[in-house]
Amino acid sequence: MLELEKAIEVLQEAAGPVKETELLPLAEAAGRVLAEDIRAAYDQPPFDRSPLDGYAVRGEDTLSASDQQPVSLQVLGKIYAGQVFTGTVDKGQCVRLMTGSPIPEGADAVVRQEDTDFKPGQDQAGQVNIFKGVAPWQNYVYAGEDYHKGDLLLEKGTVLKGMQLGIIAGSGRDQVEVYRQPVITVISTGDEVVAPGGPLEAGKIYDANRFTVLGRLADLGFRKLESCHCQDDPEIMEDRIREAAKRSDLIITTGGVSVGEKDIMHQVMADLHGDKLFWRVSLKPGAPTLAFLTGERSVPVICLTGNPYGVAVNFELLVRPVLEKMSGNPAVRSKTRQCRLVNDSPKRGGVRRFMRGSYDEEEGQVRILTGSHASGTLSSMAASNCLVEIPGNGSGRAGDKVRVYLL
Amino acid sequence: MLELEKAIEVLQEAAGPVKETELLPLAEAAGRVLAEDIRAAYDQPPFDRSPLDGYAVRGEDTLSASDQQPVSLQVLGKIYAGQVFTGTVDKGQCVRLMTGSPIPEGADAVVRQEDTDFKPGQDQAGQVNIFKGVAPWQNYVYAGEDYHKGDLLLEKGTVLKGMQLGIIAGSGRDQVEVYRQPVITVISTGDEVVAPGGPLEAGKIYDANRFTVLGRLADLGFRKLESCHCQDDPEIMEDRIREAAKRSDLIITTGGVSVGEKDIMHQVMADLHGDKLFWRVSLKPGAPTLAFLTGERSVPVICLTGNPYGVAVNFELLVRPVLEKMSGNPAVRSKTRQCRLVNDSPKRGGVRRFMRGSYDEEEGQVRILTGSHASGTLSSMAASNCLVEIPGNGSGRAGDKVRVYLL
């Protein structure tokens, strides 16, 4: 049996990152991974501008200004943000401007309107009195103060969140090259399993696994998902996987991996001439996980156990690292914490186990949820916010340091 | 000027939760908020079943079994998971079954196949030898062991993640009633602002704000978004808001809220007969935030500053609490931490400030990013993972405890 870390390593090695890219409008690119460096096409700001409402002046004209002896300047005109004053400010002159207005030629500073005899609403006469002078380059925002043309703004591989989209828009781009999302196919198996929404015949159960996996993929931002259920018929399953391998980057199946007569996945792998990566991982639940590569594109097929709790646990431990590798998005990785266990684990020793827990971030501690821990039980997952790792070394008592995987 | 907490309270009071619901297929419901209680329509499991591959027996028949003196039972038949055995197991009889098979009438325990003379591949003769007995009810999973028909599985208001979708599917439902997402309209203003993708004329800048807000909304899972840019013309802006208020649950604008001649939002609010909630909040950046209600449905309009860093900060502080209230999704709330500041804040005292920071979860500390903190600068946000709150009381030195808002 493979150690968990080794199984993850094997899977990550086998799963190539998706290299194809697509050009998306900015508003559709949130959460995607940048496939190009974003460099500034312009200085930011693109021109010297005013940081406040006031008057663009030649600083030296105003240095002597005071309440008692204001300096009177000739107002050449008024410009709002977005407008341009085409003349030049000469000695004794100024231009009224607003926050964000370009500073006109000849001016080298801006006097705040509060330091003049400007009154709101009152339009400017030809002269304005300055009561407080400014030195050259005071209240003056230089072109390129934020960044210069050619500067690297965002590196290839960056995950695009809102702030990054604002930066890209501000640099003038309305489209961006991102990696396409991996296409993922989920196939649940089991003759006893029927799709929810229909009647429940005797001996059957509803298909939780397909929706747990689809839902977790959606939680993590994956949207290119296909899924179906397949009876325990190796030939049909082979067809399903063969078809899926043509258009998918990853195939996840549930069920059929143990040693019973209906555990068809071994035969399916053999008949597909699959390239086996491993069978069985040293952990509970989900030990019989099988993984292989198939098809011309060597698509990874991760075959999870059929028990619903095992599916949930193995998705976190084994599938997420593969998704991280394929998508290049580190946010997909499980977040882990080291913390203190507040109660004894009901099971200890033997194989490494993963139990449902309730993690308290503030206190830095975790409680294993008691009640049903039967491996087929999914409903108690609703109350847990993490998985607690109980190592196989016999530890797992109240007070022990344990690792938790946040859900 | 309103304190931030008071502004949040006023906004949350004004913003009603979205009450309308919609019925969604499970595979589309990830991340949505449940608008109904989910109760079990069936016992789970729906029938008494076997937890392993073996033989359904009457336990008392097997109690004396040992390697030396096996008990021989008559095999009545074989059932796989999903099949039903219609006969009854009588004294001296058994039925071969698999993990998940219903336990037939008459049987009260399951003997593991490893404890019999069963050999894989070899089909069953009419008899099987049991080498290790089981007590009645051993290896026996009762119907309803996970939950009973009528049990409350998930409460109204639960956020549907993968695990919850698995639970709902397992209970037999393939559709689920969720609250519809709020419709949110984003309108950026400013005559100096042009849409990215086009040419940049003199004196103009590209529209970062609209995409920062749209991107953050998308980060938080909101998908019903509309947006446009509007010149600094009150009449046009009034029309835009009037139209948006008919179909939106929240309107967010940027720019035009200060005291300059082009700060049109005050006039827009007045002309719309808007019900003013507040103007100006005691914080930097973003002090001049304006908020009012408009239209027949009293839609909240949150008018953010025009400066890009202010927009980013105020979205986190003021808009997210409103989104939480509207969506009923606590995951939308900003996550905050108390931690140690490792460097002096470049600005202290006066008004409460929010600076870009780099938070180290492991170490429980935060560093204020140095370099450009000019309020118009968005690009340095790319390197920050949190906002650091510097209170107005003069604290903000290395070693002080500060609050951070995770981005």
Look at residues A291, A312, A332 and tell me which one is the last residue of a structural domain.
A332
Look up the CATH number of the domain holding residue B124.
2.170.190.11
Q: Inter-chain contact B200–A225, Cβ cutoff 8 Å?
A: no
Q: Inter-chain contact B81–A225, Cβ cutoff 8 Å?
A: no
C-alpha angle A87/A88/A94, rounded to 5°?
A: 105
Does one domain contain both A376 and A238? no
How close B371 comes to chain A (CA, Å)?
10
Nearest to A32 by CA among A353, A328, A322: A328
Interface mutation target, options B262, B379, B407, chain A, most CBs of A under 10 Å: B379
Asked whether B354 and B313 are in contact (CB, 8 A), the reply is yes
Token pair of A399, please?
């007070």
> What pairs with residue A22 in β-bridges?
A178
B-facing residues of A in 217-246 (CB < 8 A) are 217-219, 225, 227, 232
pLDDT score recorded for residue A373: 47
B-facing residues of A in 247-286 (CB < 8 A) are 258-262
Among A54-68, A221-235, B310-324, B351-365, the range scoring the smallest mean pLDDT is: B351-365
For B202-211, the pLDDT digits (tens) are 999 999 999 9
Q: Is B271 domain-assigned?
A: yes
Coil/strand/helix, residue A30:
coil
CA contacts within 13 A on the Cβ side of B406: 14
Does one domain contain both A29 and A174? yes
For B269-306, the pLDDT digits (tens) are 999 999 999 999 999 999 999 999 999 999 999 999 99
Look up the CATH number of the domain holding residue A371.
2.40.340.10
Q: Does B197 contact chain A (CB < 8 Å)?
A: yes
Does one domain contain both A211 and A238? yes
When the pLDDT of each residue in chain B is averaged and rounded to a whole number, the result is: 93
Nearest to A36 by CA among A166, A173, A136, A189: A173
Look up the CATH number of the domain holding residue A160.
3.90.105.10
Does one domain contain both B185 and B170? no
pLDDT higher than 70, residue B105: yes
A-facing residues of B in 316-345 (CB < 8 A) are none
Q: Mean pLDDT across the stretch A121-144?
A: 88
Residue B122: pLDDT band (50, 70, 90) is low
Percent helix, strand and coil across chain B, each to the nearest 5: 20, 30, 50
Among A348-352, A401-405, B263-267, the range scoring the smallest mean pLDDT is: A348-352
DSSP string, B267-316: HHHHHTT-EEEEE-BSSBS-TT-EEEEETTTTEEEEEE-SSHHHHHHHII
Does one domain contain both A268 and A243? yes
Q: Is B137 domain-assigned?
A: no
Q: Which helix (H) or strand (E) holds B96?
A: strand B93-97
For A368-384, the pLDDT digits (tens) are 987 654 445 677 777 78
DSSP A385: S
Alpha carbon separation from B11 to A74, A250, B319 (Å, rounded)? 46, 45, 9
Residue B316: pLDDT band (50, 70, 90) is very high
Q: How far apart are CA B166 and CA A192, in angstroms?
A: 16
Q: Inter-chain contact B46–A190, Cβ cutoff 8 Å?
A: no
For B246-262, the pLDDT digits (tens) are 999 999 999 999 887 88
Look at residues A297, A332, A367 and tell me which one is the last residue of a structural domain.
A332
Q: Inter-chain contact A163–B120, Cβ cutoff 8 Å?
A: no
Using a CB-CB cut-off of 8 Å, the residues of chain A touching B230 are none
ipTM of the predicted structure? Answer: 0.93
Q: Inter-chain contact B203–A146, Cβ cutoff 8 Å?
A: no
Q: Is B47 domain-assigned?
A: no
pLDDT score recorded for residue A374: 45
Q: How far apart are CA B132 and CA B130, in angstroms?
A: 6
pLDDT higher than 70, residue A170: yes
Total domains in the fold of chain A: 4
- Residue B26 has phi, psi (to 5 degrees) of -50, -45
Comparing CB atoms, the residue among A44, A47, A167 nearest residue B382 is: A167
Of residues B122 and B230, the one with the higher pLDDT is B230
3-class secondary structure for B107-159?
Answer: CCEEEEHHHECCCCCCCCCCEEEECCCCCCCCCCECCCCCECCCCEEECCCCE
pTM score > 0.90 for this model? yes
Does one domain contain both A306 and A281? yes
pLDDT higher than 50, residue A326: yes
B-facing residues of A in 6-65 (CB < 8 A) are 26-27, 30-31, 42, 44-47, 51, 53
Coil/strand/helix, residue A108:
coil
Q: Inter-chain contact B378–A162, Cβ cutoff 8 Å?
A: no
Q: How far apart are CA B81 and CA B75, in angstroms?
A: 17
Share of chain A above pLDDT 90, in %: 85
Using a CB-CB cut-off of 8 Å, the residues of chain B touching A167 are 208, 378-379, 381-382
Q: Inter-chain contact A211–B26, Cβ cutoff 8 Å?
A: yes
pLDDT score recorded for residue B194: 96
Q: Inter-chain contact B162–A217, Cβ cutoff 8 Å?
A: yes
Look at residues B332, B357, B375 and tell me which one is the last residue of a structural domain.
B332
Strand pairing category for A365-368 and A401-406:
unpaired
pLDDT higher than 90, residue A204: yes
pLDDT higher than 60, residue B69: yes
Q: Inter-chain contact B170–A379, Cβ cutoff 8 Å?
A: yes
Does one domain contain both B167 and B26? yes
- Counted across chains A and B, CB pairs separated by less than 8 A come out at 314
Does one domain contain both A204 and A302? yes
Q: How far apart are CA B35 and CA B78, in angstroms?
A: 44
Q: Inter-chain contact B381–A167, Cβ cutoff 8 Å?
A: yes
Q: Mean pLDDT across the stretch A95-124?
A: 89
Q: How far is CA A400 from the centre of its chain?
A: 33
When the pLDDT of each residue in chain A is averaged and rounded to a whole number, the result is: 93
Asked whether A165 and B227 are in contact (CB, 8 A), the reply is no
Which chain B residue shows the shortest CA-CA distance from A376?
B146
DSSP string, A157-225: T-B--HHHHHHHHHTT-SEEEEEPPPPEEEEEE-TTEE-TTS---TT-EE--HHHHHHHHHHHTT---E
Asked whether A143 and A114 are in contact (CB, 8 A), the reply is no
Token pair of B133, please?
């007995």
How close B309 comes to chain A (CA, Å)?
9
B-facing residues of A in 342-371 (CB < 8 A) are none
Q: Is A300 domain-assigned?
A: yes
Q: How far apart are CA B368 and CA A398, in angstroms?
A: 38
Q: Is B135 domain-assigned?
A: no
Using a CB-CB cut-off of 8 Å, the residues of chain A touching B169 are 196, 206-208, 210-212
Q: Mean pLDDT across the stretch A11-24?
A: 96
Does one domain contain both A368 and A378? yes
Q: Inter-chain contact B165–A120, Cβ cutoff 8 Å?
A: no
Residue B374: pLDDT band (50, 70, 90) is very low
Comparing CB atoms, the residue among B190, B200, B216 nearest residue A172 is: B200
Q: Which helix (H) or strand (E) holds B383?
A: none
For A205-219, the pLDDT digits (tens) are 999 999 999 999 999
pLDDT higher than 70, residue B373: no
Which chain B residue shows the shortest CA-CA distance from A163?
B212
Q: Is A141 domain-assigned?
A: no
Does one domain contain both B172 and B239? no
Q: How far apart are CA A231 and CA B136, in angstroms?
A: 33
Q: How far apart are CA B225 and CA B208, in angstroms?
A: 16
Q: Is A340 domain-assigned?
A: yes
Does one domain contain both B213 and B305? yes
B-facing residues of A in 122-161 (CB < 8 A) are 141, 145-147, 153-154, 158, 160-161
Asked whether B305 and B368 are in contact (CB, 8 A), the reply is no
Q: Which domain holds residue B361?
A: 336-406
Q: Does B291 contact chain A (CB < 8 Å)?
A: no
Q: Inter-chain contact B81–A190, Cβ cutoff 8 Å?
A: yes
Interface mutation target, options B85, B163, B387, chain A, most CBs of A under 10 Å: B163
Among A121-135, A174-188, A220-234, A235-249, the range scoring the smallest mean pLDDT is: A121-135
Q: Is B327 domain-assigned?
A: yes
Nearest to B387 by CA among B397, B373, B376: B373
Q: Inter-chain contact B161–A219, Cβ cutoff 8 Å?
A: yes
Q: Does A83 contact chain B (CB < 8 Å)?
A: yes
pLDDT score recorded for residue A372: 57
Share of chain A above pLDDT 70, in %: 97
Comparing CB atoms, the residue among A191, A195, A215 nearest residue B165 is: A215
pLDDT higher than 90, residue B382: no
pLDDT score recorded for residue A251: 98
Angle between helices B209-219 and A162-170 (to 10 degrees): 160
pLDDT score recorded for residue B348: 83
Does one domain contain both A156 and A208? no
Q: Inter-chain contact B312–A99, Cβ cutoff 8 Å?
A: no
Distance between start and end Cα atoms, chain B: 26
